[in-house]
Chains A and B, each alone.
Chain A
């Protein structure tokens, strides 16, 4: 069974600080997606990375897929209160018709 481990599970920082959250596995994924979920809402897709070593930027958010396609990171520069939410990663499982395997999430709180 493939697993995706996210770390840290919880992070509370001040506005303006930088942070990185991680998504790790011992298995190879065909792709890796990052979502943000706010209270009372479903997850919203932020980005999909498919190539080992790929880096994508979305304003202050930088996403990286590991060279071996087993891990990914999300870096936020100058965090803002609007970045608060649950960040979830999900990997495409090549052995299960690309079914998504989900991490448990990182709960991020940005304090003003």
Chain B
């Protein structure tokens, strides 16, 4: 069974631009969560989608948004990029959104904002 895939793997943008990242979950998984990972900060939860509905949201500004499609694929968008948005963005899928459900992570998209 194929794992979680994320595209693109690497991205360079300049301040003020916007970016869209894509995540394809494991087949059959309906929950997708997004995280931002920066050195020394650990993983910061962005949001979780289940069956096309946002179930939980982390403490990030409105410039960060996401959506999920009927095939469970998910995208996240960051508008008006800032230098501090440079990070590894991880997507994780799970069968359901039940608490403590095992999450399977993709390899991430490394975003560099210049």
Distance A52 CA – B77 CA, assembled complex (angstroms): 40
Query: Which residues of chain A come closer than 8 Å to B4, judged between CB atoms?
Result: 42
Interface pick from A13-21, A58-66, A69-77, A99-107: A99-107
Find chain A residues with CB under 8 A from B35 CB.
102
In the bound assembly, the distance between CA atoms of A40 and B9 in angstroms comes to 9
Q: Are B56 and A90 in contact (CB under 8 A)?
A: no
Q: Range of interface residues on chain A? A: 20 to 34
Task: Tell me if B90 is interfacial: C-beta within 8 Å of chain A.
Answer: yes
Per-residue B-contact encoding for A46-57, CB less than 8 Å = 1, 0 else? 001010000000
Contact B105 A100 (CB under 8 A): no
Whether B114 is near chain A, meaning CB under 8 Å from some CB there, is no
A68 vs B43: C-alpha distance when bound (angstroms): 24
Q: Of B43, B44, B100, which is within 8 A of A48 by CB?
A: B100
Contact of A40 among B44, B45, B107 (CB under 8 A): B107
When chains A and B are docked, how far (Å) is the Cα of A99 from the Cα of B101? 11
Chain B nearest CB, measured from A36 CB (Å): 11
Contact B56 A99 (CB under 8 A): yes
The size class of the interface chain B forms with chain A is 20 to 34
A42 contacts B106, C-beta separation under 8 Å? yes
- Cβ distance A12 to chain B, nearest Cβ, rounded Å: 17
**Cβ B42 vs Cβ A88 within 8 A:** yes
Contacts of A44 in B (CB 8 A): 105
Query: Which of B40, B42, B45, B100 gathers most chain A CB within 10 Å?
Result: B42
Q: A88-B43, A100-B45, A104-B41 are in contact. Are A42 and B107 (CB under 8 A)?
A: yes
Closest 8 CB pairs of A and B: A42-B105, A98-B99, A104-B42, A102-B42, A102-B43, A43-B105, A42-B90, A42-B106
Question: B residues touching A (Cβ–Cβ < 8 Å)?
Answer: 4, 35, 40-45, 56, 90-92, 99-100, 102-108
